[in-house]
Amino acid sequence: MAESARIIDPSPAAKASKPMPVILLVDDDEITRISMAGRLKRLGYRVIEASDGVAGLAAIRAHRPDLVILDWMMPGLDGPSVCEALRADQELRSSQVVLMTAHDQPEQIAEGLSRGADDFLSKAASKQEVLARVQASLRSSALVREIERTRDDLDRSHRLLSAKQTELESELQSAADFVRAQLPLPGMPAPGVSMQWAYQPSLALGGDLFQVSAWGTDTLGLYILDASGHGVSAALRAVALMSFLREDNLAKAVGSFDPGAIITEANRRFPLTQDGEYFTLWVGRLHLPSRTLSYAAAGHCGAFLHSLEGTSQWLSSASLPLGFDPTIPFHSATAQLQPRDRLYLLSDGIYEAPSPTGELWGRDRLQATLETHRTHTLAHSIGEAMTTARLWLGGDIFPDDVALLGVEVLDGSASAKDKP
């Protein structure tokens, strides 16, 4: 097949600086083909010839000409059949095709167009008409090629972006897994104390973190922190503060487990960033034998003591977030827990969940929900609070990180006569 296609050298006058359009001429009638090829060559085009439909298809595939001029009547595969074959081929379907015929009846033109031709050219056409139709078809061809190049560029860019996005999402997921691994395991962080939590960052990575862990033999350390902002930056800063709050680091850096002293030192070490980002922090220290809780807060309002028999209260007061004034001291306050009391640490993202009309859920509604489910298990109460917050929100995606941690002092976990 390839042997039946040959390339005619262009005329010297047509050797311009810009690429010369390539036209494939497919006609089984050698005299007509040579004549038309000569006319096209004299018009300045590079011409490839093929002597039948099958050879023409092979030449299109091999040379990807800018324009194909097809004779209608050919043995074997005729012009319209070549058109159909082109339109059915994913790679060749955008080829620009002019059907050449000795007849130009309207019915024939309609059939040719319906079977895939772009235009018609009479074999008896004048030189001017041939030139006009060829030029018009080449303009269309150039536009189609340009669109294809743009599409290919877009496809390549899209594939590149998709690959980058996948890579980035994978890295974010790894970071999110790492951050989540820093959170405590639900269960019993110390004898006589149970703990459960729910955590839902607004993005893959959250800036709200919390921890419950033993600080010495008789003491439980608890904290919840909120890094302003969202995403990677907030999560990284949150993990940095979490490292500071590790028991072994506190012993070295603060020399005390007093919450006020811890926050005072953190306030000194974690100034506002250049972008004005900062932390709020609540730290508690529960002496297990006496169930005495000492606590301090830096701008964090999220600690609620739910007492079974005594008075429930929010364990926070107005205080500056970390870094707002690095010179000020923070002081501890105390609260006495009774058996089966529950201490909740929570991020503002849960009680600031907005309804569809913009009304915030609020701390009162959160407190009421927790109290309603007081007789159930801690896990159930936390689950119900999250469910009710989502109902209020009217969806599952909170606009801010949501953390709700509960600690319950069990019956007989300590002797009231022990004091810290």
Partner 1 sequence: MQIRERRIGQSVILDLMGELTYANRTIFKAAVERSKQGGCRHLILNMRGVRFLDSSALGTLALLTQSLSVTQGMVSLLNPQSYVQEIVTLANLHTLLPVYTSEQDALAGSRLPAAG
List the one residue from 51, 101, 228, 332 that touches partner 1 (CB under 8 A).
228
Residue nearer to partner 1 on the CB measure, 59 or 301: 301
Instruction: Check residue 357 for interaction with partner 1 (CB under 8 A).
Output: no
Per the DSSP assignment, residues forming a β-bridge with 190 are 193
Residue nearer to partner 1 on the CB measure, 355 or 415: 355
Q: How far is the CB of 23 from partner 1 (least distance, A)?
A: 57
Instruction: Check residue 364 for interaction with partner 1 (CB under 8 A).
Output: no
Residue nearer to partner 1 on the CB measure, 318 or 397: 318
Residue nearer to partner 1 on the CB measure, 45 or 330: 330
Piece in contact with partner 1 (CB under 8 A), picked from 1-9, 10-18, 146-154, 312-320: 312-320
Q: How far is the CB of 401 from partner 1 (least distance, A)?
A: 11
The answer to whether the beta carbons of residues 405 and 195 sit under 8 Å apart is yes
Residue nearer to partner 1 on the CB measure, 178 or 314: 314
Piece in contact with partner 1 (CB under 8 A), picked from 58-66, 315-323, 368-376, 389-397: 315-323
List the one residue from 19, 276, 356, 412 that touches partner 1 (CB under 8 A).
276
Piece in contact with partner 1 (CB under 8 A), picked from 113-121, 198-206, 271-279, 376-384: 271-279
Q: How far is the CB of 400 from partner 1 (least distance, A)?
A: 9
Q: How far is the CB of 306 from partner 1 (least distance, A)?
A: 21
Residue nearer to partner 1 on the CB measure, 52 or 401: 401
For the sheet with 22-26, list strands across it: 6-8, 46-50, 22-26, 67-71, 97-101, 119-122
Annotate 158-167 with b (16+ C-beta within 10 A) or e (fewer). eeeeeeeeee
- Runs of H (alpha helix) within 182-246: 231-244
Residue nearer to partner 1 on the CB measure, 172 or 320: 320
Q: Where are the beta strands (DSSP E) in 102-237?
A: 119-122, 187-190, 193-200, 208-214, 219-227
Q: How far is the CB of 337 from partner 1 (least distance, A)?
A: 25
List the one residue from 229, 231, 339, 383 that touches partner 1 (CB under 8 A).
229
Instruction: Check residue 397 for interaction with partner 1 (CB under 8 A).
Output: no
Residue nearer to partner 1 on the CB measure, 49 or 226: 226
Residues 37-96 that bind partner 1 (CB under 8 A): none
Instruction: Check residue 333 for interaction with partner 1 (CB under 8 A).
Output: no
List the one residue from 319, 367, 381, 413 that touches partner 1 (CB under 8 A).
319
Instruction: Check residue 275 for interaction with partner 1 (CB under 8 A).
Output: yes
Amino acid (1-letter code) at residue 317 = S
Give dist(CA 330, CA 318) in Å, integer: 11
Contacts with partner 1 by CB under 8 A: the residue count is 17
C-alpha distances out from residue 52 to 66, 78, 108, 183, Å: 19, 8, 20, 75
Q: Tell me the backbone φ, ψ of residue 236, rounded to 5 degrees.
A: -65, -40
Instruction: Check residue 202 for interaction with partner 1 (CB under 8 A).
Output: no
* Vertex 218 angle, CA 214 and 223, to 5°: 40
For the sheet with 342-346, list strands across it: 187-190, 193-200, 402-409, 342-346, 303-306, 313-314
C-alpha distances out from residue 170 to 167, 230, 316, Å: 5, 18, 39
**What are the structure tokens assigned to 299, written together?**
């701008």
134-140 long-range contacts, Cβ below 8 Å, gap at least 24?
134/23, 134/40, 134/43, 134/45, 134/67, 134/69, 134/98, 137/67, 137/96, 137/98, 138/21, 138/66, 138/67, 138/96, 140/96
SS3 46: strand
SS3 306: strand
The answer to whether the beta carbons of residues 238 and 227 sit under 8 Å apart is yes
Residue nearer to partner 1 on the CB measure, 142 or 272: 272
Give dist(CA 326, CA 348) in Å, integer: 24
Instruction: For helices 30-42 and 127-181, give the axis angle rounded to 10 degrees.
Output: 80
Residue nearer to partner 1 on the CB measure, 211 or 228: 228
Instruction: Check residue 318 for interaction with partner 1 (CB under 8 A).
Output: yes
Q: How far is the CB of 210 from partner 1 (least distance, A)?
A: 18
Instruction: Check residue 267 for interaction with partner 1 (CB under 8 A).
Output: no
Instruction: Check residue 176 for interaction with partner 1 (CB under 8 A).
Output: no
Instruction: Check residue 201 for interaction with partner 1 (CB under 8 A).
Output: no
Instruction: Check residue 301 for interaction with partner 1 (CB under 8 A).
Output: yes
Binding residues for partner 1 (CB under 8 A)? 228-229, 272, 274-278, 299, 301, 318-321, 323-325
